[in-house]
Amino acid sequence: MALHGDSSGEFDTKSPADKLFTSFTDDINSTFDIISNEKITEYVGWEKRTVTLSMSGNLVSDSYKKFKATITVTPKAYEADGSRVLWTVEFEKIRHDVEDPVWIIDSLINYLKEIDGVL
């Protein structure tokens, strides 16, 4: 297994892009504190609805030198409501026997889908 890795994907939501992005970024630190008790360094680009999260802390640092997720929310081209969420995760493991961070990625995607369900 390689030490460096990345994963990406996309999915559609029913929520308008601005509303989904604002809801996600408004409470981002407390959300990920609940998930992983990790420290979050974030960059929020409001114009392009992009947020980049770099996580560190006990759970991440024990397995990864680097964990960075970038999420972009864009309006759908042909629908009044709805948006597309694009996500990319980059990571570097500290050892070859460390698993890919699938549980963190799944938590992030599920959280975004929950926000969409509430909105």
| DSSP collapsed to 3 states, 3-49 | CEEEEEEEEEECCCHHHHHHHHHHCHHHHHHHHHCCEEEEEEECCCC
Position 35 scores a pLDDT of 52
Residue 43 belongs to what domain range?
4-118
> Which CATH number does the domain housing residue 21 bear?
3.30.530.20
Question: Which pLDDT does position 9 carry in this prediction?
Answer: 94
Q: Per the confidence metrics, is the pTM higher than 0.85?
A: no
Domain count, the chain: 1
Do 41 and 27 meet the contact criterion of CB atoms below 8 Å apart?
no
Q: Which pLDDT tens digit goes with each residue over 86-117? A: 999 999 999 999 999 888 888 888 989 999 99
For residue range 50-84, what is the model confidence (pLDDT) as tens digits?
Answer: 999 887 766 677 888 888 989 999 999 876 779 99
